[in-house]
Amino acid sequence: MNRSELSELSDKSYDVIVVGAGINGAGAAQQLVADGYRVLIIDKGDYAGGATSKSSRILHCGLRYLAPGKSIWDFVIHPTKFFLACQNARKAMIARSEISLSMKELVRPFRFFFPIYKDGPYLSWQVDSAFKLLNLLGPHDNSLEYQRFSGKNLQKIPFKKWFRDSKQLQSVSVFKDYQFISAERLVVDAIRDSAKMGATVRNYTLMYQPKQLADGWQVTLKDVLTSIEVNVKTKLILNVTGPWGNWVNQTMKSSIPDKVIGLKGAHIVVKLPEEFTECGIMIINRANEPMYFLPWHGMHYIGLNRIPYDGELDEVKATKDETEWLLKEVNYAFPLLNLQRKDILYSYAGIQPVTFDESDPQGSREVVVHDLESDGLSNVLMLTGGPIMTYRHIAKKILKEVSKRCVPTLAKQHPSSGSSEVTKLLRNSRSASVEMNISDEILKKIIIEEQPVYLADILLRRTGIGWDIDQGKSAVPGVATVMAELCGWDEQRKEKEMQLFHQHIKEIYQVQKYRGDSVCD
């Protein structure tokens, strides 16, 4: 997937332009080109540089969909919500099975612990019932291995002594779930496969000045790095830009109402006591929302809050108030930890795009493919909603809608459901770990084959080194040397790139010991 010069695309025609190269854009491009469509996929930033890279990275079983919200009666009063919850949970269970079996290099199993309190929102029988329902809804080839510990058996929970109010702790449910080792590589692998099947793929490419034609669209593409511009034509535009979706729509027609809202979610990364090692924990926080503690490079990342967000989308970061709120919730759940701001190794925040719902400020969990013809935009589709794990199901849903409006012009092919050669080299079958197997040879393949432009593209979105305890700072000189050699950088350019990376992680990922407030204010 060499990055072609933008001038080579001048005046070319496509069946579909996919705008947005997160997981759902990448999955859609892969499915569409496999079905015979001439596809161009672009992103104004790097592949997986938006919402996909800032998620909680859980390939989860769908338990959260079965949580009724404020009250169990919410499902009784609104049975359609329960039906949608079951649909979403089934899709999650199917995705959990498919991805964990076909892409073993990119996921790993872990044990999830869920404490049930006498004064909590859910009783033991309700949790037991939820897991029975999940077993009924999902395939039977990958067990949840559900258990619930109570009474004397609570002593088997390794970190039992750290829980709040042991007199109120009724039991602890434990089940097997999966964690994405790299959601970013999931995207890159789908992009690689799309390119292998004939799609044109380009990062750091902006679409603007769209002009509606009788049989489709003409758009201008701009290379963000060189400012070179070309015009191309397409029969259909697919807007899969997640939180940026409203903005993209409004570049085509300013009066289009919002279809998506963004929910901001912040995470903090800390080192927990040894008893927590490799254990995942899910609690219900005092806002009655699920909160996750996920093992990661010997640390845990903890989140998240869900707050409607309408600020700057390109520079989302965890604020001082958000990190302090997370700390308070952690210390409420585990008072003996007594975590302080100085205990935060780093933090990050992302935007979850959800479908706009007039009746709910936090939007709807429904995944919708909008036809914008009713808004005056013929041959434009837009996706709202869509978690990482169900990207394959969503891609098929998008294909169904595209096929109603556009006939494929090429032969059908078979998309890959497995990991790429580079991912297999990086992982080397290390399923129990989140570490990557990095070498100069692998880095060279990534630089030549996967269109990285900046150090952050490699450290954060191709290898995951940048998510380690030091955010990849120790690896920067070595990676920069290899990149300089292949990209023809002189020493001045190399130094500049290293400085840019350090500044990037300082600003966006809040890399510091949180001993002062300047970064977070």
Mean pLDDT, range 487-504, rounded to an integer: 95
How does DSSP assign 446-489, residue by residue? HHHHS---SHHHHHHHTS-GGGSTTTTGGGHHHHHHHHHHHHT-
Beta bridge pairs of residue 346: 269
| Average pLDDT for the chain | 92
| Statement: the pTM of the whole predicted model exceeds 0.85 | yes
Quickly count: other Cβ atoms within 10 Å of residue 308's Cβ: 12
How far apart CA 134 and CA 142 sit, in angstroms, is 12
How far apart CA 404 and CA 419 sit, in angstroms, is 31
Q: Which long-range contacts (CB under 8 A, 24 or more apart) does 438-442 make?
A: 438/463, 438/465, 438/475, 440/478, 440/482
pLDDT grade for 511, boundaries at 50, 70 and 90 = low
SS (H, E, C) 202-216: ECCEEEEEEEEECCE
Note whether 431 and 104 are within 8 A (CB). Answer: yes
Per-residue pLDDT of 24-50, as tens digits, reads 999 999 999 999 999 999 999 999 999
SS3 call for 268 = strand
Note whether 319 and 331 are within 8 A (CB). Answer: no
- Judge whether residue 315 has pLDDT over 90: no
How far apart CA 126 and CA 106 sit, in angstroms, is 32
Burial group, residue 83, by CB count within 10 angstroms (0-12, 13-18, 19+): exposed
Match 């080192």 to its residue by tokens: 271
Match 């039906």 to its residue by tokens: 83
Mean pLDDT, range 56-76, rounded to an integer: 78
Distance set, CA 448 to CA 156, 439, 483, 490 (Å): 50, 14, 10, 18
Which tokens is 217 given? 């669209």
Q: Name the DSSP letter for residue 364.
A: B
- Judge whether residue 139 has pLDDT over 50: yes
Note whether 241 and 21 are within 8 A (CB). Answer: no
pLDDT at residue 84, rounded to an integer: 85
Question: Strands 229-239 and 380-384: what pairing?
Answer: parallel
Note whether 306 and 339 are within 8 A (CB). Answer: no
Per-residue pLDDT of 381-425, as tens digits, reads 999 999 999 999 999 999 999 999 999 999 999 999 999 999 999
